[in-house]
Structure 1
Amino acid sequence: MFHSPRPLVAAAAVPIAFGRAGVLRPPEPRFSLVVDLSQNLFSARWWRGLATLTALVTGVSLLAPQMGPLPAGTPVAEGPDQARQEAALAVGALSRGSATGLTMSEGPLARPIASAPARQSRTLSLVVSPGDRLARLLSRNGVRMADALHAAAMIRAEKALPAPGTTLSLRLGAPDAAGQRPIEQLHYRARLDLEIEVSGGETGLRVERRAMNLDRTPLRIRGSVGGGLYWALRSAGASPAQAADYLQAIGGSLDVGSEVMPGDRFELVVAQAKSADGRTVSEGLLYAGLDRSGGSDLSLVRVPIGGRLQWINETASPEPVRSGLLAPVSGPITSGFGGRMHPILRFIRMHKGVDYGAGWGAPIVAAADGQVIRAGWAGGYGRQVRIAHAGGLVTSYSHMSRIVAEGGFVRRGELIGYVGSSGLSTGPHLHYEVLKDGVPVNPLGVTLVSRPVFNDKLMAAVRARAKALRGL
């Protein structure tokens, strides 16, 4: 019996229900305005997509603004109402009071011109920047190069060049063919008591110095200490610099943080100069007084002694004052004065000072008033500072990470550097030595004896000066 071959199945048979089979068909697509016109050409879905695209293009073209050339010409006022409105806004001829500089409507009294004429005079206000040169500043703002160089040379000869931040008032003349202008007048304040004016004319530039009278009456500030001395000074009218000078002045005689109490009264007199136009410049502290409720009062006057200014208390005693050296750094002593096993060389060696254990970067201060005689690298001592004091005494500070005091006079407690480990050192610390006439001595047993350098005649002058300043 002949059997025909099994026909190919066009669709996979899947169970529809128990014991039944069916054919899997693709799901009907949902309705969407998004149609790919490259597929199913000329089908109903394709025609619907084409119609949607056509409608969108037509809508955009209808809603787009009309593109065309802008109207040319100057609009003219139409009607009496618009003319009155423009007259109220000062849009009109100068003969009718229009001075705003706005564009005026063209009319019988106003005609457009091809170009505006150059101003015959020009006034500028210039500020000198740091690092700027006067001639370059003037030339950059349109001054003829010859005038700029000449004016700068004359002012330099007067030793009155403007400092950074100075405002210059400059008036220039008519421009030449190259567009540059001559100087008609240059004026500025060189100092509080000096004005400089450079003027030009047919004979060329000339410079004039104008001295100004100053009122040099000192300023007196008084007040009471409240929660803190610094802020009490600021509240009384002292500037930050004046308050700092006052604290430094009395800080040499007492501990400001612990010995100044609420209720104490302070007084300071500051030198100042005041010009006729109200400008004021402070010139330094002259007097520092403190009335204390729990201790002796201070009445300090600044006088020149030994080539430098020092604060002297009018009640100072001429008796010698004995005091120990100030500890140069905050920290424990890790190695004392005398023989010891050297931590690096590993043999018994004389330790000429004491070592303070302190962290890297801890501040180091001067143990007493003195003159810095050495500040730099010192071989195995690393970075070192040496200070000479009265009586042939020298203090030495070694192994520093950074030096601050590189020369000059330093006061007791003044910062001179920071702890480090430079030179032959096993770690950060301060090696501190004291030498008497060049011989190392134990720093812990040294006592300073300071003898006053003032006499009875100087003290009489100090008391007279303090009385005069308090009486202002």
Structure 2
Amino acid sequence: VRDEFRSQMILPLALGADSGRHMGATDAVIPLKSAPERPTVELLATLVRGDSFGRMLQRAGVGSGDAARISELVAGAIPLSDIEPGTQVDIILGRRPQPGASRPLDSLSFRARFDLELAISRAGGALALERRPIRVDETPLRIRGTVGGSLYRSARAAGAPATAVQQYLETVGEHLDLDSALRSSDTFDIIISYRRAATGEVQAGRLLYAGIERDGKPRTQLMRWGSEGRFFEASGVGEQRNGLLSPVPGSVSSRYGMRRHPILGYRRMHRGQDYRASYGTPIVAVSDGRVSGAGRMGGCGIAVRLSHGGGLETRYCHMSRLAVRGGQSVRRGQVIGYVGSTGLSTGAHLHYEMYRGGQSVDPASVRYVTRAQLSGEELRAFRASLDKLKTVEPGAALASLAPRETEQAEPEREIEKVANPRKLR
């Protein structure tokens, strides 16, 4: 008896012995027929690409009957195909009616659109849908600053999204030589579409306006106009999309023709144009086409060859890295690679070639951009829209948009608190 009591004392624990005596169940123990379950279960389901809304619900544990009814209710509010992949759905499942049965849905809510939340709850045994509109402000975001040593870095430092800056450089680069026509004291002016919800989320859209000012006076003013989204100058002169773009915003440093090769040391045909551009500058397709080659191409280094149809081909040489693969279709203005100095090259630049029917041609002989001219009522409407757009104050889109009493900010989930810990001061 003494040994039995000793095994349950503190002393054996301190000496590293067993922590007590294991004893079997007696008649005083009443076994449970089933393990108790939580009355409700809270889940977060995510709609993945290629999945259906109903399958996502069933995968989360919603019964097939409830999943079908929920899909029917949601489809009555918005097309199910409009729900973006990655949408997260908050689900609360209730108590099982019997062991082995699916838990019934108590409630469900998700962000159906940027301006709409849908909620489904069970009222009196039946599922009902509630639409919760979200107030959205669409004041464009205007960003201004000094060009400085690098237009790209200055615009990014001022808060412009990278995609918007890229669009800005491409747009302005078609009208100005960004290397020689800009001064460090010039002012850049960027306006992009911008949406912010009363619940706190924001969406930055495409470029609406691109401008350069010098000494307080506009140097160039370009605004997106029309259903095709072309940019027009303040005078109403715009570009046509059937022309060819410049592959990089830099100026031409060496033209097509005979010249002394800087590395080989003798005169030979220079079958292309060289563009000044810093290392890593994005290179874009001059027109729609298909990638007929991508990779190392001898003295051309890392290069991309595009077929544009009608026997027209272009090649882009000395890249630092690729952004496309062979056989891929590309659109006019799409980034296909980045400036480098691979192959027979003395430094970072772009060597650009053009072929027609398999024979090299002078790229300068091909017209890059044709023009369109607004006139009459359309020109007046364009100028009125331009004047209105330029009244937007820089940073006006960032002002506080406090939610109304009927609107609630998106809740912060516990997992988000762990992923984004608040810093203590």
TM-score by length of 1: 0.53
| 2:162 maps to 1:240 | yes
Amino acid in the other structure paired with 2:91 = L
* Cα distance between partner residues in 2 of 1:456 and 1:180: 66
Name the residue aligned to 1:271.
193
Q: What secondary structure sits across from 2:384 in the alignment?
A: helix
Q: 1:283–1:240: structure 2 CA closer, same or farther, 3 Å change rule? A: same
Out of 182, 186, 196, the position equivalent to 1:260 is 182
The CA deviation at 1:188 is: 0.7
Q: 1:404–1:242: structure 2 CA closer, same or farther, 3 Å change rule? A: farther
Bigger relative contact order, structure 1 or 2, given CA contacts below 8 A and separation 6+? 2
* Cα distance between partner residues in 2 of 1:230 and 1:365: 15
Q: What secondary structure sits across from 1:143 in the alignment?
A: coil
> Are the counterparts in 1 of residues 354 and 361 from structure 2 also a CA contact under 8 Å?
no
State the Cα deviation string for residues 354-413 of structure 1 (Å, max 9, x = none).
Answer: 95599xxxx99889x6565x7769xxxxx975547xxxx9744489998779667625x9
Q: What secondary structure sits across from 2:103 in the alignment?
A: coil
The CA deviation at 1:417 is: 12
Name the residue aligned to 1:121.
40
Name the residue aligned to 1:135.
54
* Cα distance between partner residues in 2 of 1:365 and 1:414: 6
Q: What secondary structure sits across from 1:286 in the alignment?
A: strand
Q: What secondary structure sits across from 2:199 in the alignment?
A: coil
Q: What secondary structure sits across from 1:260 in the alignment?
A: coil
The CA deviation at 1:145 is: 2.8
- Pairs within 5 Å for 1:28-47: none
* Cα distance between partner residues in 2 of 1:67 and 1:365: 72
The CA deviation at 1:297 is: 0.5
| 2:263 maps to 1:312 | no
Aligned residues: 326
Name the residue aligned to 1:166.
87
Name the residue aligned to 2:172.
250
* Cα distance between partner residues in 1 of 2:190 and 2:353: 41
State the Cα deviation string for residues 186-220 of structure 1 (Å, max 9, x = none).
Answer: 11111111111222345533434333332212222
* Cα distance between partner residues in 2 of 1:168 and 1:200: 16
* Cα distance between partner residues in 1 of 2:203 and 2:244: 41
* Cα distance between partner residues in 1 of 2:245 and 2:202: 43
Amino acid in the other structure paired with 1:455 = L
The CA deviation at 1:69 is: 4.8
Amino acid in the other structure paired with 1:469 = L
Mark the runs of 5 or more structure 2 residues left unpaired by the alignment.
Answer: 1-13, 260-268, 275-280, 294-303, 340-350, 393-425
Amino acid in the other structure paired with 1:147 = D
The CA deviation at 1:286 is: 1.2
Name the residue aligned to 1:16.
none
* Cα distance between partner residues in 1 of 2:211 and 2:149: 19
* Cα distance between partner residues in 2 of 1:234 and 1:253: 21
- Pairs within 5 Å for 1:7-156: 69-70=20-21, 114=32, 117-130=36-49, 132-156=51-75
Q: 1:407–1:467: structure 2 CA closer, same or farther, 3 Å change rule? A: same
State the Cα deviation string for residues 107-134 of structure 1 (Å, max 9, x = none).
Answer: xxxx999577434333333344555544
- Pairs within 5 Å for 1:49-448: 69-70=20-21, 114=32, 117-130=36-49, 132-156=51-75, 158-160=78-80, 162-177=83-98, 178-202=100-124, 204-292=126-214, 297-304=219-226, 308-315=228-235, 355=271, 372=289, 385-387=306-308, 395-397=312-314, 410=332, 415=336, 432-434=354-356, 443=362, 446=365, 448=367
Q: 1:228–1:414: structure 2 CA closer, same or farther, 3 Å change rule? A: same
The CA deviation at 1:227 is: 2.9
> Are the counterparts in 2 of residues 221 and 236 from structure 1 also a CA contact under 8 Å?
yes
Amino acid in the other structure paired with 1:465 = S
Amino acid in the other structure paired with 2:191 = V
> Are the counterparts in 2 of residues 334 and 357 from structure 1 also a CA contact under 8 Å?
no
The CA deviation at 1:181 is: 0.7
RMSD, aligned CA: 5.2
Q: 1:208–1:254: structure 2 CA closer, same or farther, 3 Å change rule? A: same
* Cα distance between partner residues in 1 of 2:37 and 2:287: 68
* Cα distance between partner residues in 2 of 1:116 and 1:195: 37
The CA deviation at 1:444 is: 7.1
Name the residue aligned to 1:426.
none
Identity of aligned residues (%): 25
* Cα distance between partner residues in 1 of 2:234 and 2:331: 23
| 2:382 maps to 1:466 | no
Q: What secondary structure sits across from 1:471 in the alignment?
A: coil
> Are the counterparts in 1 of residues 244 and 369 from structure 2 also a CA contact under 8 Å?
no
* Cα distance between partner residues in 2 of 1:126 and 1:275: 23
Amino acid in the other structure paired with 2:201 = R
Q: Which protein shows a greater Rg?
A: 1
Name the residue aligned to 2:400.
none
Q: What secondary structure sits across from 1:198 in the alignment?
A: strand
